[in-house]
Protein backbone atom coordinates (compact mmCIF):
# COMPACT_ATOMS: atom_id res chain seq x y z
CA UNK A 1 0.00 0.00 0.00
CA UNK A 2 2.80 2.38 0.98
CA UNK A 3 4.46 1.88 -2.43
CA UNK A 4 1.35 2.65 -4.44
CA UNK A 5 2.13 5.63 -6.73
CA UNK A 6 0.01 8.73 -6.03
CA UNK A 7 -3.14 9.18 -8.10
CA UNK A 8 -3.65 11.90 -10.69
CA UNK A 9 -5.50 14.35 -8.41
CA UNK A 10 -2.90 13.93 -5.66
CA UNK A 11 -0.11 14.68 -8.14
CA UNK A 12 -2.03 17.67 -9.51
CA UNK A 13 -1.97 19.20 -6.02
CA UNK A 14 1.36 18.05 -4.62
CA UNK A 15 3.79 17.25 -7.47
CA UNK A 16 6.57 19.73 -8.12
CA UNK A 17 6.03 21.83 -5.00
CA UNK A 18 6.85 21.78 -1.30
CA UNK A 19 6.52 24.41 1.42
CA UNK A 20 8.89 27.30 0.61
CA UNK A 21 12.26 26.46 2.16
CA UNK A 22 13.02 30.09 3.07
CA UNK A 23 9.68 31.15 4.62
CA UNK A 24 7.54 28.04 5.10
CA UNK A 25 4.89 29.49 2.77
CA UNK A 26 2.63 26.56 1.87
CA UNK A 27 1.77 27.87 -1.57
CA UNK A 28 4.62 28.37 -4.05
CA UNK A 29 5.48 32.08 -3.93
CA UNK A 30 5.65 34.28 -7.01
CA UNK A 31 9.42 34.75 -7.27
CA UNK A 32 9.11 38.15 -8.90
CA UNK A 33 12.81 38.72 -9.45
CA UNK A 34 14.92 39.04 -12.55
CA UNK A 35 18.16 37.59 -11.18
CA UNK A 36 19.58 35.46 -8.35
CA UNK A 37 22.67 36.13 -6.21
CA UNK A 38 25.54 33.64 -6.66
CA UNK A 39 27.07 31.94 -3.60
CA UNK A 40 30.56 32.74 -4.88
CA UNK A 41 32.56 32.94 -8.09
CA UNK A 42 32.93 29.16 -8.40
CA UNK A 43 29.17 28.72 -8.04
CA UNK A 44 28.57 31.31 -10.78
CA UNK A 45 31.08 29.67 -13.06
CA UNK A 46 29.55 26.20 -12.49
CA UNK A 47 26.06 27.48 -13.26
CA UNK A 48 27.15 29.13 -16.50
CA UNK A 49 29.07 26.04 -17.64
CA UNK A 50 26.12 23.68 -16.81
CA UNK A 51 28.27 21.93 -14.18
CA UNK A 52 25.56 22.77 -11.62
CA UNK A 53 21.80 23.35 -11.83
CA UNK A 54 20.42 26.55 -10.36
CA UNK A 55 18.84 29.91 -10.91
CA UNK A 56 20.78 32.60 -12.74
CA UNK A 57 18.27 34.80 -14.53
CA UNK A 58 14.49 34.49 -14.94
CA UNK A 59 14.63 34.30 -18.76
CA UNK A 60 16.23 30.88 -18.31
CA UNK A 61 14.93 29.58 -14.97
CA UNK A 62 12.96 30.76 -11.93
CA UNK A 63 11.68 28.85 -8.85
CA UNK A 64 7.97 29.49 -9.60
CA UNK A 65 8.50 28.21 -13.14
CA UNK A 66 10.38 25.18 -11.80
CA UNK A 67 7.44 24.06 -9.64
CA UNK A 68 5.14 24.35 -12.65
CA UNK A 69 7.59 22.29 -14.71
CA UNK A 70 7.82 19.58 -12.04
CA UNK A 71 4.04 19.33 -11.82
CA UNK A 72 3.48 19.04 -15.57
CA UNK A 73 6.31 16.50 -15.97
CA UNK A 74 4.79 14.37 -13.18
CA UNK A 75 1.27 14.49 -14.64
CA UNK A 76 2.49 13.60 -18.15
CA UNK A 77 4.91 10.91 -16.93
CA UNK A 78 7.87 12.70 -18.56
CA UNK A 79 11.44 13.06 -17.31
CA UNK A 80 11.56 16.88 -17.30
CA UNK A 81 9.69 19.91 -18.56
CA UNK A 82 10.33 23.49 -19.62
CA UNK A 83 7.67 26.17 -19.20
CA UNK A 84 7.59 29.06 -21.66
CA UNK A 85 5.51 32.10 -22.57
CA UNK A 86 2.85 30.42 -24.72
CA UNK A 87 1.95 27.25 -26.57
CA UNK A 88 3.41 28.69 -29.76
CA UNK A 89 6.66 29.48 -27.98
CA UNK A 90 6.82 25.83 -26.88
CA UNK A 91 6.45 24.70 -30.49
CA UNK A 92 9.09 27.19 -31.65
CA UNK A 93 11.64 25.94 -29.11
CA UNK A 94 10.93 22.27 -29.85
CA UNK A 95 11.60 22.73 -33.56
CA UNK A 96 14.54 25.09 -32.94
CA UNK A 97 16.19 22.27 -30.98
CA UNK A 98 15.61 19.63 -33.67
CA UNK A 99 15.80 21.37 -37.00
CA UNK A 100 18.50 22.78 -39.26
CA UNK A 101 17.77 25.00 -42.28
CA UNK A 102 16.51 22.82 -45.15
CA UNK A 103 15.03 20.17 -42.83
CA UNK A 104 11.45 18.92 -43.04
CA UNK A 105 8.87 17.77 -40.53
CA UNK A 106 5.50 16.11 -41.03
CA UNK A 107 2.39 17.54 -39.38
CA UNK A 108 -1.20 16.43 -39.28
CA UNK A 109 -3.42 18.78 -41.28
CA UNK A 110 -6.01 18.58 -38.49
CA UNK A 111 -4.37 21.17 -36.24
CA UNK A 112 -5.20 24.43 -34.50
CA UNK A 113 -5.27 27.15 -37.22
CA UNK A 114 -2.53 29.15 -35.47
CA UNK A 115 -0.20 26.14 -35.67
CA UNK A 116 -0.98 25.74 -39.37
CA UNK A 117 0.03 29.40 -39.84
CA UNK A 118 3.15 29.09 -37.70
CA UNK A 119 4.31 26.02 -39.63
CA UNK A 120 3.35 27.29 -43.11
CA UNK A 121 4.65 30.83 -42.81
CA UNK A 122 6.94 31.80 -39.90
CA UNK A 123 8.85 28.51 -39.80
CA UNK A 124 9.68 28.98 -43.49
CA UNK A 125 11.93 31.90 -42.61
CA UNK A 126 14.02 29.52 -40.47
CA UNK A 127 14.29 27.19 -43.48
CA UNK A 128 12.08 24.53 -41.82
CA UNK A 129 9.56 22.96 -44.19
CA UNK A 130 6.29 21.37 -43.12
CA UNK A 131 4.85 18.45 -45.11
CA UNK A 132 1.16 17.92 -44.36
CA UNK A 133 -0.39 14.51 -43.72
CA UNK A 134 -3.91 13.33 -42.92
CA UNK A 135 -4.35 12.06 -39.36
CA UNK A 136 -7.14 9.75 -40.55
CA UNK A 137 -4.81 8.12 -43.10
CA UNK A 138 -1.69 6.68 -41.46
CA UNK A 139 -0.17 5.82 -44.86
CA UNK A 140 0.00 9.56 -45.64
CA UNK A 141 2.61 9.89 -42.85
CA UNK A 142 4.63 6.98 -44.23
CA UNK A 143 4.55 8.46 -47.73
CA UNK A 144 5.68 11.88 -46.46
CA UNK A 145 8.90 10.57 -44.85
CA UNK A 146 12.10 11.69 -46.61
CA UNK A 147 15.80 11.69 -45.61
CA UNK A 148 15.28 15.30 -44.48
CA UNK A 149 12.37 14.50 -42.12
CA UNK A 150 13.24 15.29 -38.49
CA UNK A 151 9.93 14.84 -36.65
CA UNK A 152 6.19 14.16 -36.79
CA UNK A 153 3.77 16.57 -35.07
CA UNK A 154 0.13 15.80 -34.20
CA UNK A 155 -2.54 16.91 -31.71
CA UNK A 156 -3.94 14.12 -29.49
CA UNK A 157 -7.44 15.65 -29.65
CA UNK A 158 -7.46 18.13 -32.51
CA UNK A 159 -8.67 21.72 -32.37
CA UNK A 160 -11.23 22.59 -33.70
CA UNK A 161 -12.52 19.26 -35.07
CA UNK A 162 -12.36 17.37 -31.76
CA UNK A 163 -11.03 14.32 -33.66
CA UNK A 164 -8.88 11.81 -31.79
CA UNK A 165 -5.52 10.81 -33.27
CA UNK A 166 -4.29 7.22 -33.48
CA UNK A 167 -1.09 7.97 -31.57
CA UNK A 168 0.23 4.41 -31.49
CA UNK A 169 -0.06 3.95 -35.26
CA UNK A 170 1.74 7.26 -35.91
CA UNK A 171 4.37 6.54 -33.24
CA UNK A 172 5.14 3.32 -35.13
CA UNK A 173 5.79 5.28 -38.33
CA UNK A 174 8.05 7.71 -36.44
CA UNK A 175 9.96 4.90 -34.73
CA UNK A 176 10.56 3.09 -38.01
CA UNK A 177 11.93 6.31 -39.52
CA UNK A 178 14.12 6.96 -36.44
CA UNK A 179 12.50 10.33 -35.72
CA UNK A 180 10.58 11.63 -32.67
CA UNK A 181 6.81 11.97 -32.38
CA UNK A 182 5.75 15.32 -30.91
CA UNK A 183 2.21 15.45 -29.51
CA UNK A 184 0.33 18.66 -28.72
CA UNK A 185 -1.78 17.47 -25.77
CA UNK A 186 -3.49 20.82 -25.13
CA UNK A 187 -7.12 19.78 -25.60
CA UNK A 188 -6.82 16.42 -23.88
CA UNK A 189 -4.55 17.39 -20.96
CA UNK A 190 -2.82 14.50 -19.15
CA UNK A 191 -6.09 13.89 -17.27
CA UNK A 192 -7.61 12.44 -20.44
CA UNK A 193 -4.57 11.21 -22.36
CA UNK A 194 -0.89 10.61 -21.60
CA UNK A 195 0.85 10.45 -24.98
CA UNK A 196 4.13 8.98 -23.63
CA UNK A 197 2.18 5.79 -22.83
CA UNK A 198 1.37 5.56 -26.53
CA UNK A 199 4.84 6.08 -27.99
CA UNK A 200 5.22 9.88 -28.06
CA UNK A 201 8.70 11.30 -27.42
CA UNK A 202 7.91 14.98 -26.78
CA UNK A 203 4.67 16.52 -25.48
CA UNK A 204 3.80 20.19 -25.83
CA UNK A 205 0.93 22.17 -24.35
CA UNK A 206 -0.65 25.52 -24.52
CA UNK A 207 -1.04 25.98 -20.74
CA UNK A 208 -3.27 28.93 -21.64
CA UNK A 209 -6.17 26.47 -22.08
CA UNK A 210 -7.45 23.70 -19.79
CA UNK A 211 -4.23 23.31 -17.81
CA UNK A 212 -4.45 26.85 -16.38
CA UNK A 213 -8.16 26.57 -16.98
CA UNK A 214 -9.45 30.01 -16.07
CA UNK A 215 -8.69 32.09 -19.15
CA UNK A 216 -6.35 34.41 -17.25
CA UNK A 217 -2.76 33.54 -18.24
CA UNK A 218 -0.70 32.71 -21.30
CA UNK A 219 1.76 29.84 -20.98
CA UNK A 220 3.23 26.84 -22.73
CA UNK A 221 5.28 23.80 -21.81
CA UNK A 222 7.57 21.24 -23.41
CA UNK A 223 7.74 17.82 -21.75
CA UNK A 224 10.64 15.46 -22.44
CA UNK A 225 9.70 11.78 -22.62
CA UNK A 226 13.35 10.84 -22.07
CA UNK A 227 12.78 7.97 -24.52
CA UNK A 228 14.52 9.08 -27.71
CA UNK A 229 18.16 8.53 -28.72
CA UNK A 230 19.24 11.97 -29.99
CA UNK A 231 22.78 10.81 -30.83
CA UNK A 232 22.16 7.63 -32.84
CA UNK A 233 21.40 9.07 -36.29
CA UNK A 234 23.53 12.23 -36.21
CA UNK A 235 20.40 14.11 -37.34
CA UNK A 236 20.14 16.29 -34.22
CA UNK A 237 23.50 18.12 -33.93
CA UNK A 238 22.35 20.56 -31.23
CA UNK A 239 21.92 17.54 -28.98
CA UNK A 240 24.67 15.20 -30.16
CA UNK A 241 27.57 17.48 -31.17
CA UNK A 242 29.91 19.55 -28.98
CA UNK A 243 28.32 22.89 -28.15
CA UNK A 244 30.63 25.88 -28.53
CA UNK A 245 28.58 28.09 -26.23
CA UNK A 246 29.05 25.58 -23.35
CA UNK A 247 32.77 24.72 -23.60
CA UNK A 248 32.16 21.89 -26.08
CA UNK A 249 29.68 19.95 -23.94
CA UNK A 250 27.57 17.31 -25.76
CA UNK A 251 24.07 17.80 -24.32
CA UNK A 252 22.67 14.32 -24.96
CA UNK A 253 25.80 12.56 -23.77
CA UNK A 254 25.89 14.72 -20.60
CA UNK A 255 22.20 14.89 -19.67
CA UNK A 256 20.77 11.63 -21.08
CA UNK A 257 17.02 11.35 -20.55
CA UNK A 258 16.49 15.04 -19.79
CA UNK A 259 18.73 16.32 -22.61
CA UNK A 260 15.92 17.57 -24.82
CA UNK A 261 14.35 19.70 -22.06
CA UNK A 262 17.80 21.00 -21.12
CA UNK A 263 18.63 21.88 -24.74
CA UNK A 264 15.34 23.76 -25.16
CA UNK A 265 16.18 25.74 -22.02
CA UNK A 266 19.89 26.44 -22.36
CA UNK A 267 19.85 27.06 -26.12
CA UNK A 268 16.33 27.91 -27.29
CA UNK A 269 15.04 29.80 -24.28
CA UNK A 270 18.41 31.43 -23.61
CA UNK A 271 18.74 32.74 -27.17
CA UNK A 272 15.15 33.21 -28.42
CA UNK A 273 13.86 34.39 -25.05
CA UNK A 274 10.13 33.54 -24.69
CA UNK A 275 10.12 33.03 -20.91
CA UNK A 276 6.92 32.74 -18.89
CA UNK A 277 6.25 35.40 -16.24
CA UNK A 278 6.43 34.12 -12.63
CA UNK A 279 2.91 35.51 -12.03
CA UNK A 280 1.56 33.47 -14.96
CA UNK A 281 3.34 30.36 -13.65
CA UNK A 282 1.68 30.92 -10.28
CA UNK A 283 -1.81 31.37 -11.74
CA UNK A 284 -1.44 28.29 -13.94
CA UNK A 285 -0.15 26.29 -10.96
CA UNK A 286 -3.23 27.28 -8.97
CA UNK A 287 -5.50 26.28 -11.84
CA UNK A 288 -3.78 22.92 -12.28
CA UNK A 289 -4.63 21.81 -8.76
CA UNK A 290 -8.23 21.25 -9.89
CA UNK A 291 -7.41 19.88 -13.37
CA UNK A 292 -9.02 16.47 -12.80
CA UNK A 293 -12.23 17.88 -11.31
CA UNK A 294 -12.58 20.49 -14.02
CA UNK A 295 -11.78 18.20 -16.95
CA UNK A 296 -14.33 15.60 -15.86
CA UNK A 297 -17.02 18.27 -15.55
CA UNK A 298 -15.98 19.81 -18.91
CA UNK A 299 -16.31 16.39 -20.56
CA UNK A 300 -19.62 15.50 -18.89
CA UNK A 301 -21.12 18.85 -19.90
CA UNK A 302 -19.75 18.60 -23.45
CA UNK A 303 -21.31 15.17 -23.91
CA UNK A 304 -24.71 16.50 -22.74
CA UNK A 305 -24.51 19.50 -25.10
CA UNK A 306 -23.30 17.40 -28.07
CA UNK A 307 -26.07 14.83 -27.50
CA UNK A 308 -28.70 17.59 -27.36
CA UNK A 309 -27.32 19.30 -30.49
CA UNK A 310 -27.32 16.06 -32.45
CA UNK A 311 -31.14 16.01 -32.39
CA UNK A 312 -31.68 19.75 -33.08
CA UNK A 313 -33.55 20.63 -36.28
CA UNK A 314 -31.10 23.42 -37.30
CA UNK A 315 -28.03 21.23 -36.89
CA UNK A 316 -26.65 19.30 -39.89
CA UNK A 317 -23.98 17.32 -38.00
CA UNK A 318 -22.05 17.17 -34.72
CA UNK A 319 -18.37 16.16 -34.54
CA UNK A 320 -17.85 14.94 -31.00
CA UNK A 321 -15.80 11.82 -30.40
CA UNK A 322 -17.77 11.18 -27.20
CA UNK A 323 -20.92 10.37 -29.22
CA UNK A 324 -21.19 6.61 -29.89
CA UNK A 325 -22.05 7.39 -33.53
CA UNK A 326 -18.88 9.48 -34.09
CA UNK A 327 -16.22 8.04 -36.39
CA UNK A 328 -13.52 8.71 -33.77
CA UNK A 329 -15.45 7.13 -30.89
CA UNK A 330 -13.38 3.93 -30.88
CA UNK A 331 -10.15 5.98 -30.79
CA UNK A 332 -11.58 8.09 -27.96
CA UNK A 333 -12.34 4.95 -25.94
CA UNK A 334 -8.73 3.84 -26.45
CA UNK A 335 -6.81 7.11 -25.95
CA UNK A 336 -9.11 9.28 -23.79
CA UNK A 337 -11.46 6.86 -22.02
CA UNK A 338 -12.56 9.35 -19.32
CA UNK A 339 -14.03 11.72 -21.89
CA UNK A 340 -13.64 13.29 -25.31
CA UNK A 341 -12.68 16.74 -24.06
CA UNK A 342 -14.80 19.85 -24.25
CA UNK A 343 -13.94 21.37 -27.62
CA UNK A 344 -15.93 20.25 -30.62
CA UNK A 345 -17.62 21.49 -33.75
CA UNK A 346 -21.05 21.24 -35.25
CA UNK A 347 -22.54 22.34 -38.57
CA UNK A 348 -25.47 24.67 -38.98
CA UNK A 349 -27.87 23.90 -41.81
CA UNK A 350 -27.92 27.66 -42.56
CA UNK A 351 -24.18 27.72 -43.43
CA UNK A 352 -21.85 30.72 -43.05
CA UNK A 353 -24.60 33.32 -42.42
CA UNK A 354 -26.24 31.18 -39.74
CA UNK A 355 -22.85 30.75 -38.05
CA UNK A 356 -22.26 34.49 -37.92
CA UNK A 357 -25.83 35.06 -36.66
CA UNK A 358 -25.50 32.45 -33.96
CA UNK A 359 -22.27 33.79 -32.44
CA UNK A 360 -23.88 37.24 -32.41
CA UNK A 361 -26.94 35.93 -30.52
CA UNK A 362 -25.50 34.09 -27.51
CA UNK A 363 -25.97 35.71 -24.09
CA UNK A 364 -24.10 33.62 -21.50
CA UNK A 365 -21.57 32.01 -23.85
CA UNK A 366 -18.64 34.27 -24.74
CA UNK A 367 -17.85 34.89 -28.39
CA UNK A 368 -14.06 34.87 -28.39
CA UNK A 369 -10.92 33.16 -29.68
CA UNK A 370 -9.99 30.85 -26.85
CA UNK A 371 -10.76 27.41 -25.49
CA UNK A 372 -10.40 25.79 -22.10
CA UNK A 373 -11.94 28.42 -19.81
CA UNK A 374 -14.36 27.61 -16.96
CA UNK A 375 -16.84 29.61 -19.05
CA UNK A 376 -18.45 28.21 -22.20
CA UNK A 377 -17.00 29.80 -25.33
CA UNK A 378 -18.15 29.95 -28.94
CA UNK A 379 -16.56 30.92 -32.23
CA UNK A 380 -17.26 30.67 -35.94
CA UNK A 381 -13.77 29.66 -37.18
CA UNK A 382 -14.32 30.48 -40.88
CA UNK A 383 -14.93 34.17 -40.08
CA UNK A 384 -12.25 34.45 -37.33
CA UNK A 385 -9.39 32.11 -36.28
CA UNK A 386 -9.24 30.29 -39.61
CA UNK A 387 -10.20 33.18 -41.94
CA UNK A 388 -6.68 33.28 -43.42
CA UNK A 389 -6.97 29.71 -44.74
CA UNK A 390 -8.04 28.88 -48.30
CA UNK A 391 -11.47 27.21 -48.81
CA UNK A 392 -9.67 23.90 -49.33
CA UNK A 393 -7.54 24.33 -46.18
CA UNK A 394 -10.68 25.32 -44.22
CA UNK A 395 -12.39 22.06 -45.10
CA UNK A 396 -9.25 19.99 -44.40
CA UNK A 397 -8.78 21.70 -41.02
CA UNK A 398 -12.41 20.91 -40.10
CA UNK A 399 -13.39 24.59 -40.21
CA UNK A 400 -15.74 24.90 -43.20
CA UNK A 401 -18.21 27.84 -43.58
CA UNK A 402 -21.06 26.18 -41.63
CA UNK A 403 -18.85 25.13 -38.70
CA UNK A 404 -19.32 26.50 -35.18
CA UNK A 405 -16.77 25.61 -32.49
CA UNK A 406 -17.75 25.28 -28.85
CA UNK A 407 -15.54 25.04 -25.78
CA UNK A 408 -17.93 23.81 -23.13
CA UNK A 409 -17.36 25.22 -19.66
CA UNK A 410 -18.20 23.95 -16.20
CA UNK A 411 -21.41 25.91 -15.65
CA UNK A 412 -24.69 23.99 -15.21
CA UNK A 413 -25.23 22.03 -18.43
CA UNK A 414 -28.91 23.08 -18.60
CA UNK A 415 -27.94 26.75 -18.67
CA UNK A 416 -25.42 26.17 -21.47
CA UNK A 417 -28.02 24.31 -23.52
CA UNK A 418 -30.66 26.99 -22.86
CA UNK A 419 -28.34 29.74 -24.16
CA UNK A 420 -27.40 27.79 -27.30
CA UNK A 421 -31.09 27.00 -27.87
CA UNK A 422 -32.19 30.65 -27.69
CA UNK A 423 -29.28 31.71 -29.97
CA UNK A 424 -30.22 29.11 -32.58
CA UNK A 425 -33.87 30.05 -32.57
C1 LIG B 1 -4.19 22.95 -29.69
C2 LIG B 1 -3.45 24.24 -29.52
N3 LIG B 1 -2.11 24.24 -29.57
C4 LIG B 1 -1.40 25.37 -29.43
C5 LIG B 1 -2.02 26.59 -29.26
C6 LIG B 1 -1.19 27.83 -29.12
O7 LIG B 1 -1.16 28.19 -27.78
P8 LIG B 1 -0.93 29.69 -27.26
O9 LIG B 1 -2.12 30.49 -27.67
O10 LIG B 1 -0.77 29.53 -25.79
O11 LIG B 1 0.32 30.17 -27.94
C12 LIG B 1 -3.42 26.64 -29.19
C13 LIG B 1 -4.12 27.91 -29.01
O14 LIG B 1 -5.32 27.99 -29.14
C15 LIG B 1 -4.15 25.43 -29.33
O16 LIG B 1 -5.48 25.40 -29.28
Q: What is the pLDDT of residue 29?
A: 97
Q: What is the pLDDT of residue 179?
A: 98
Which CATH number belongs to the domain containing residue 185 in this structure?
A: 3.40.640.10
Same domain, 301 and 277: no
Measure 206 CA to ligand 1 centroid, in angstroms.
5
Rounded Cα distance between 9 and 140, Å, is 38
Domain count within the chain? 2
Q: What is the pLDDT of residue 100?
A: 97
Query: Nearest to residue 95, comparing CAs of 176, 172, 145, 151?
Result: 151
A 10 A CB-CB count for 232 gives: 11
Q: What is the pLDDT of residue 387?
A: 79
Residue nearest to atom 14 of ligand 1 (CA): 370
Strand partners, 379: 405
Question: Is residue 389 in a domain?
Answer: yes
Residues with CB under 6 Å of ligand 1 are 86-88, 112, 114-115, 155, 159, 184, 186-187, 206, 208, 218, 220, 371
Measure 369 CA to ligand 1 centroid, in angstroms.
10
Which CATH number belongs to the domain containing residue 389 in this structure?
A: 3.90.1150.10
Measure 3 CA to ligand 1 centroid, in angstroms.
37
Residues spanned by the domain of 401:
292-424
Q: What is the pLDDT of residue 2?
A: 63
Question: Is residue 306 in a domain?
Answer: yes
DSSP assignment of 7-42 equals PHHHHHHHTT--S-TTT--SSPP----SB---SSHH
Residue nearest to atom 7 of ligand 1 (CA): 87
Same domain, 188 and 242: yes
Answer for the pair 288, 11: CB distance below 8 angstroms, yes or no: no
From 287, 307, 335, the end of a domain falls on: 287
The bridge status of strand 80-84 relative to strand 129-133 is unpaired
Residue nearest to atom 8 of ligand 1 (CA): 87
The bridge status of strand 129-133 relative to strand 181-184 is unpaired
Rounded Cα distance between 245 and 21, Å, is 33
For the chain (425 residues), the mean pLDDT of every run of 10, in chain order, is 86 96 96 98 96 96 98 98 98 98 96 92 97 97 98 95 94 98 98 98 98 98 98 97 96 98 98 98 98 98 98 96 97 98 96 93 97 97 81 79 96 98 94
Amino acid sequence: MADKPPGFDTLAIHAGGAPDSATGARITPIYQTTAFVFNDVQHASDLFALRAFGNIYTRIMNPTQSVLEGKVAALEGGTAALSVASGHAAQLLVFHTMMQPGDEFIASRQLYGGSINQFNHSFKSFGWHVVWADADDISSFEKAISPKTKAIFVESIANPGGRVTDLEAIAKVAKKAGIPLIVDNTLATPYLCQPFKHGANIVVHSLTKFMGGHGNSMGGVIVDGGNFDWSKSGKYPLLSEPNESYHGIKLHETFGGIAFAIACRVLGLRDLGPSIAPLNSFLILTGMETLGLRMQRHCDNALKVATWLSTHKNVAWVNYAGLPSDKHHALQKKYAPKGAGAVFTFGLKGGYDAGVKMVSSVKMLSHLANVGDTRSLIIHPASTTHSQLSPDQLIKAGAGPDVVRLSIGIEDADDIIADIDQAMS
